[in-house]
């Protein structure tokens, strides 16, 4: 072990000549520790929330969604659909026609998004497992059926029919006719649906979505033979990005091919922005705390004035004495950062293991997720802030101190 490092370590852990200096040293070390742990915990919580919310939305979204780059609807040929089904990794394909419409049930009305899908659309994300009342069915022969989100059912107070019922009406503007102020209902067409099921996916879609027949929606919107999107389910063994690239190569320009995260791009951008905004705020707090470290290091150097004189008397070089204090500053920054990482990891581990905090009373455990890149980012930021705070006063004050001692 180098002599300078040995002396620096002794200075760090040994008692100072004044109890106040000892207290200041521990406060500086604790400030680095607490700020590092806070950064670690906050980033891990945001990672957990992002994964938690993503898993909820991904339970509803298709693995890959194809939409038109321009316009609302498009039409794929049977050859294109067959080619899509034949791509490596594609396990299921469904055409979708979706739009907003007004639902009325008895004297109650509600604006919902109707999503026309294939009869076996439940295979997309095992949506039949989200049905808590009735069944997942979108058509029965020539009769269109409806599966309502839990929020839609609550708003309409719509009971599930055991037989073909015409009480649920869908109102949609006629595509070929303009609304007339004198008689606005003349430009509105009304169709009947039979509610046969209700689903609950624990996402915002429960409050606005209704599944129904693809043919019914194409007839209602006047887009016969056209769709608003094509959705694909991808095998877990095949990377989604590989399938996205294959679809883009197959269809060419004119289409948007989105994975699950791109389908909710705005939400994920907001979450990432919040995460790094909090990171910046905590880093600023650490920067403010570094002023305390500057004062602490200045006092430590002055506290060892007698020792510096002894080192000079023993023939030590100025570079050796400066290296002692520099290494002491590095030790404080390094120990504080490492201890903060350990504390943050311990808190996250305890939350994942014992579920100390929950989302609401008796709800889901608050999610946390540790990422290696976040640990590197935290270490880099903490060291970039604390090291200058430790080293600048050591270099500036030690130069003056050494001159005075040599003159004495």
The whole-number pLDDT of residue 9 equals 77
**Residue-wise pLDDT tens digits, 115-138:** 999 999 988 887 878 899 999 999
Q: Band of the pLDDT at 182, cuts 50, 70, 90?
A: low
For the segment 150-165, the average pLDDT, to the nearest whole number, is: 86
Predicted confidence at residue 141, as pLDDT, reads 86
Distance CA 168, CA 206 (A): 18
Question: Residues 212-236: what's their mean pLDDT?
Answer: 95
**Could you report the per-residue pLDDT of 308-362, keeping only the tens digit for each?**
777 777 877 777 877 887 888 888 888 889 999 999 999 999 999 998 998 776 6
Strands 64-68, 143-149: pairing is: unpaired
Render pLDDT for 37-50 as a digit per residue (tens, 0 to 9).
999 999 999 999 88
Please give the mean pLDDT across all residues of the chain: 86
The secondary structure of the chain, three-state, reads CCHHHHHHHHHHHCCCCCHHHHHHHHHHHHHHHHHHHHHHHHHHHHHHHHHHHHHHHHCCCCCEEEEECCCCCECCCHHHHHHHHCCCCEEEEEEEEEEEEEEEECCEEEEEEEEEECCCHHHCCCHHHHEEEECCCCEECCEEEEEEEHHHHHHHCCCCCCCCCCCEEEEEECCCCCCCCCCHHHHEEEEEEEEEEEECCCCHHHHCEEEEEHHHHHHHHCCCCCECEEEEEECCCCCHHHHHHHHHHHHCCCEEEEEHHHHCHHHHHHHHHHHHHHHHHHHHHHHHHHHHHHHHHHHHHHHCHHHHHHHHHCCCCHHHHHHHHHHHHHHHHHHHHHHHHHHHHHHHHHHHHHCCCECCCCCCECCCCCCHHHHHHHHHHHHHHHHHHHHHHHHHHHHHHHHHHHHC
In the predicted model, is pLDDT for residue 293 greater than 90? no
Q: Are the CB atoms for 238 and 190 separated by under 8 Å? A: no
What pLDDT, on a 0 to 100 scale, did the predictor assign at position 404? 64
Q: Is 12's pLDDT higher than 60?
A: yes
Checking if the pLDDT of 179 tops 80, the result is no
**What's the CA gap between 385 and 280, in Å, rounded?**
12
Reading the block at residue 204, the tokens are: 């915002």
In the chain, pLDDT over 70 holds for what percent of residues? 90
Domain assignments of the chain as residue spans, ordered by start: 3-57+267-407, 64-263
Query: Residue 403 in contact with residue 310, Cβ under 8 Å?
Result: no
CA distance 3 to 267: 55
For the segment 183-204, the average pLDDT, to the nearest whole number, is 84
Banded pLDDT at 144 (limits 50, 70, 90)? very high
State the pTM of this model.
0.74
Which of residues 145 and 304 earns the better pLDDT score? Answer: 145
Contact, 51 vs 369, CB < 8 A?
yes
What is the pLDDT confidence band of residue 51, given thresholds at 50, 70 and 90? confident
Which of left, alpha, beta for 381 (phi over 0: left; psi -120 to 50: alpha)? alpha
């Amino acid at each position: 072990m180098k002599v300078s490092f040995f002396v620096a370590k002794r200075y760090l852990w040994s008692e100072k000549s004044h109890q106040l200096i000892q207290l200041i040293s521990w406060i500086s070390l604790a400030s680095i520790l607490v700020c590092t742990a806070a950064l670690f915990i906050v980033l891990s919580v945001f990672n957990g929330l992002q994964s938690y919310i993503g898993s909820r939305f991904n339970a509803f979204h298709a693995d890959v969604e194809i939409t038109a780059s321009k316009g609302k609807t498009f039409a794929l040929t049977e050859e294109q659909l067959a080619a899509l089904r034949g791509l490596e990794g594609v396990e299921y394909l469904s055409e979708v026609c979706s739009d907003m419409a007004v639902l009325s049930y008895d004297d109650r009305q509600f604006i919902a998004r109707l999503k026309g899908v294939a009869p076996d659309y439940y295979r997309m994300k095992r949506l039949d497992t989200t049905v808590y009342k009735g069944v997942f069915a979108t058509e029965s022969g020539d009769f269109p059926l409806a599966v309502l989100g839990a929020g839609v059912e609550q708003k309409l107070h719509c009971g599930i029919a055991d037989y073909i019922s015409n009480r649920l009406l869908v109102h949609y503007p006629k595509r070929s006719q303009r609304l007339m102020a004198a008689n606005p209902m003349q430009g509105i067409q009304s169709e009947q649906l039979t509610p046969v099921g209700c689903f609950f996916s624990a996402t915002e879609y429960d409050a606005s979505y209704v599944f129904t027949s693809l043919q019914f929606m194409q007839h209602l919107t006047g887009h016969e033979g056209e769709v608003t999107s094509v959705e694909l389910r991808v095998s877990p063994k095949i990377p989604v990005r590989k399938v996205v690239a294959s679809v883009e190569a197959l269809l060419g320009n004119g289409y948007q091919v989105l994975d699950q995260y791109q389908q909710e791009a705005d939400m994920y951008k907001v979450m990432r922005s919040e995460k790094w905004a909090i990171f910046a705020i905590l880093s600023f707090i650490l920067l403010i705390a570094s002023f305390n470290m500057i004062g602490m290091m200045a006092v430590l150097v002055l506290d060892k004035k007698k020792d510096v004189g002894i080192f000079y008397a023993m023939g030590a070089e100025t570079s050796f004495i400066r290296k002692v204090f520099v290494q002491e500053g590095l030790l404080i920054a390094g120990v504080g950062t490492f201890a903060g990482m350990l504390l943050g990891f311990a808190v996250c581990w305890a939350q994942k293991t014992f579920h100390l905090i929950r989302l609401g009373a008796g709800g889901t455990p608050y999610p946390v997720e540790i990422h290696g890149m976040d640990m590197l980012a935290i270490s880099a930021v903490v060291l970039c802030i604390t090291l200058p705070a430790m080293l600048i006063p050591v270099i500036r004050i030690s130069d003056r101190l050494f001159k005075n001692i040599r003159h004495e």
